[in-house]
Structure 1
């Protein structure tokens, strides 16, 4: 196995427990409850004590909802990814709504718009996005947004439909101006390993100006592994590297950022509160 195929080392435990707000445990190779426990045990070694595992199609949504019942450290988000909305009909909508109403499903997501890939027409994506917005409002759960090369349309549709009480921009990819617009609207920005990339200067500026109660940290594992392990397999424990990187960018103690990440995730997803120390 080449070094590029190897997982990064598990970092030293964070000085305060944190939460990975967006990961894909199934895509990390988990199939069974034992697999999930191994991933969460490894995450716990780094101080990442809970995760939200996220679906991108119906099969993943079924798995995520079930996996959230296997381990108290796991919660789920269910939706159909914008790139998979070409054939998003009544049967699919009915199943998504059934899954989203699960007790341990804490968000509607990931949904939104993706103009980078040409898998679903923009019209189908926008229709599905509007439906997911309405669903989030009906079930009173946060909306978890996937936004790739679609900033203006995402913000426009949120305004047209009326945003749910809580909106999370998963793997935030905007610049400082976009971050200000989101912050002014009360949206929460979730930073993935991309915020640690050396060439992500616009994202660095965005991360610096977000208020302390307005951000989360995620892995989006197995993708977007933080610097200096970019390109290698990602797992929830790697969120600890992003906590360190975000603390450095913001000029704040790592413990303060870890505490903010945990407290914000608990508020956003209505998770049981766990104090640090």
Structure 2
């Protein structure tokens, strides 16, 4: 087994019900212009029919999703993501501690150490973002929020130190995320991953030059507010992602997600913007390169 093949087989998390029987959806129609999945987790093995990382990349490339940003959620997955980006030209990495994990890390007295390890990872040339970090008031209760806030501010400082992007996880915490960014100063390239706000938050992002990355949730029937936000979002600030294996878009919602399914989201967003799909792809590509730089650099 080659080193790359051995690495591909070494997915380090399992997601999904091992007993549940399902099949991957058919490939969507190929996009006319190849785009980037701005946020995904190929370290997760999604169910018994898991796509290994290189197979996931190949299948995505075949339908016009030619590159990805692989995102860490703890120190282990951040190391994995950085290694993956170092050996695979189609991958750049983001590294961070997920906000829901930050309180436990802090309680163990390990937050400062792990931030230091992320600092070292962020110096690698193909690590182009700190993320996903932020605030999550859906899963983290009051007693963990001070540690979560401290972790968020430490991650912001890392992004500014290394002059790379910040990928924000914001769940039920819009006001405090915005307050933090304005108080401590947002990095030059700040991205609201899996944008979950409404028109009001989109206008705040427009005013501050913050990027909004839309996922499969923008296709959901019960999320018209996301489509309204995309409609008024400055198109120089919009990105697209899967957050796979989560947030599978319509019309294949209900099964694990993968980068190859992102064309469903791209086409829905193009329709919302009343733009040809190829033009929407070009917009996403310009914005993605502005945030993360070249996929060719640093190998």
Q: TM range, normalised to the smaller chain?
A: over 0.9
- Aligned partner of 1:249 among 253, 272, 279: 272
- Look up the match of 1:145: 168
Are 1:206 and 2:206 an aligned pair? Answer: no
- Tell me by how many angstroms 1:3 deviates: 9.4
* RMSD over aligned Cα atoms: 1.9
Partners of 1:2 and 1:10 lie apart in 2 by 24
- Look up the match of 1:60: 77
Partners of 1:4 and 1:117 lie apart in 2 by 29
- Tell me by how many angstroms 1:2 deviates: 9.8
Paired residues in the alignment total 270
- Look up the match of 1:17: 34
Question: Which string of whole-angstrom CA distances, capped at 9 and with x for unpartnered residues, describes residues 117-154 of structure 1?
Answer: 03771111101001111111111001100000000000
Partners of 1:5 and 1:174 lie apart in 2 by 32
Question: Which string of whole-angstrom CA distances, capped at 9 and with x for unpartnered residues, describes residues 225-249 of structure 1?
Answer: 0001112110011111110010111
User: Which runs of 5 or more structure 2 residues have no equivalent in the other structure?
Assistant: 1-17
SS at match of 1:213: helix
- Aligned partner of 1:84 among 77, 101, 117: 101
SS at match of 1:64: helix
Q: Structure 1 residues 39 and 149, CA, compared in 2 at 3 Å: closer, same or farther?
A: same
What does 1:1-277 correspond to in 2, within 5 Å?
5-28=22-45, 35-86=52-103, 87-88=105-106, 89-118=111-140, 121-272=144-295
Partners of 1:262 and 1:7 lie apart in 2 by 27
Partners of 2:170 and 2:113 lie apart in 1 by 25
Partners of 1:210 and 1:167 lie apart in 2 by 15
Q: Structure 1 residues 4 and 263, CA, compared in 2 at 3 Å: closer, same or farther?
A: farther
- Tell me by how many angstroms 1:36 deviates: 2.3
Q: State whether residues 137 and 171 of structure 2, in contact with CA within 8 Å, keep that contact through their aligned partners in structure 1.
A: yes
Partners of 2:222 and 2:20 lie apart in 1 by 23
Question: Which string of whole-angstrom CA distances, capped at 9 and with x for unpartnered residues, describes residues 31-85 of structure 1?
Answer: xxx9322111100111000000101111100100001122100111001010010
Partners of 1:83 and 1:100 lie apart in 2 by 21
SS at match of 2:89: coil
User: Which runs of 5 or more structure 1 residues have no equivalent in the other structure?
Assistant: none
Partners of 1:93 and 1:263 lie apart in 2 by 31
Partners of 2:224 and 2:208 lie apart in 1 by 23
Partners of 1:29 and 1:224 lie apart in 2 by 13
- Tell me by how many angstroms 1:4 deviates: 7.3
Q: State whether residues 4 and 232 of structure 1, in contact with CA within 8 Å, keep that contact through their aligned partners in structure 2.
A: no
Q: State whether residues 58 and 79 of structure 1, in contact with CA within 8 Å, keep that contact through their aligned partners in structure 2.
A: yes
Q: TM-score if structure 2 supplies the norm length?
A: 0.86
Partners of 1:225 and 1:101 lie apart in 2 by 32
